[in-house]
Amino acid sequence: MWGLGVLKGFGITIKNMFRPVITVQYPEQRLPIPERARWAVHAVFNEDGTPKCTACLICVKECPDHVLRVESSTRPEGGKHIDTYVYELGACMMCGLCVTACPYDAIEMSHEYELATRDHSDLTRMLLFDVDAASPRRTPREDAAPAPTGTEAADA
C-alpha cells in the first residue's frame, strides 16, 4: 500500500530519537587519539635534554612540501651545530614522510592536534634553536634503517 514506507520511515526516526546521541562535546569530552595518528612534527630529545637530531638534512629532502628548514654550522672542535630548525606548520600536511625517513628518530609525529593560532607567525615553529647536533654515532636507530647513502644527497 502506498504510504507504508513513509510510515516505516517515521518509525525509524522515532526509534533513533531514543538512542543515545553520538555527538562528542569536544572541548569537554575528547576521544582518545590512536597511536599512529599524525599531527604536528615535534623534535625528540635525549634524557639529558640534548636533541637527537644530527642535522643530516634527510628530513628536509624528504618533505614533499618543503616545510622543514635546517641551518647548521660546523663546530671548531668538530661536529655540527644547529643554528635553526624551522618547521612551517601552516604548510605541513602531516604525511609523516620526514619521520619515516629520519634515521635517528630525532623527530616524531606528535599528537598535538589543536593547531589553530591567532597569529600567522605562530605557524612557523622553531623546533631546535642554537644547539649542538648529536653525533651520528651516538644515537643509532633501533631498527637499523640503512644509513643515508651518497646518492641520496647527490639526488637532491
Partner 1 sequence: MSDGHSWHSDVALEEGRPAYLPRGLKRVPRGVDELATEHLVLNMGPQHPSTHGVLHVLIELDGEEVISAEASLGYLHRGIEKLAESRRYHQVATLLDRADYVSGLHTETAFALATEKLAGIEVPWRASWLRSLAMELNRYASHLVWLGTFGMDAGAMAPFLYIMRDREMILDILEEWCGSRMMFNYVRPGGVFADIPAGLDAKIRAWLRVADSYLDDNDALLGGNEIFQARIRGTGLIDAATALAFGMTGGCLRASGVDYDLRRDVPYCAYGELDFEVPLGVNGDNLDRYTVRVGEMRQCLRLIRQLVDGVPEGDFTAKVPKVFRPPAGESYAAVESPRGELGIHIVSDGGLTPYRMRLRSPAYFNLAIVDEALAGGLVADAIVTLGSLDIVLGEIDR
Partner 2 sequence: MNIAIEILVRFLAMVALLLVNGVVLIYMLRKVLGHLHLRIGPNRVGPFGLLQTTNDVIKLLTKEDLRPAAADAWLFNIAPFLVFVPSFMAYIPLVFGPELAVTRLDTGILVIFAVLSLVPIGIMMAGWASNSKWSLIGGMRAAGQQIAYEIPLLLSVLGPVMMAGSMDPSAIVAAQSGTWFGFIPRWFVLPQIIGFVVYAISAQAETQQTPFDMSEAESELITGFANEYGGMRFGFLYLAEFSNMFIVAAVGTMLFFGGWQLPWIETPGWAAPFVFILKTYIGIFTMMWARGSLPRFRVDQMLAFCWKRLIPISLTWVVVWACIQRLAFEAAIR
Binding residues for partner 2, per CB under 8 A? 6, 9-10, 12-14, 16-17, 19, 21-23, 25
Q: From 79, 96, 94, 92, select the one nearest 132 (Cα to Cα).
A: 79
Residue 121 gets which letter from DSSP?
Answer: G
Between CA 99 and CA 60, with CA 88 as vertex, the angle to 5 degrees is 45
CB of residue 34 to partner 2, shortest distance in Å: 23
88, interface contact from partner 2, partner 1, none, CB < 5-8 Å by kind:
none
Helix H segments across the chain?
Answer: 4-17, 58-62, 97-101, 150-155
Single out the residue of 18, 22, 25, 116 in contact with partner 1 (rule: CB under 8 A): 22
- Residues that bind partner 1 in the complex, under the rule CB under 8 A: 2-6, 8-9, 12-13, 16, 22, 31, 34-38, 62, 64, 93-97, 100, 109, 146, 149, 151-152, 155
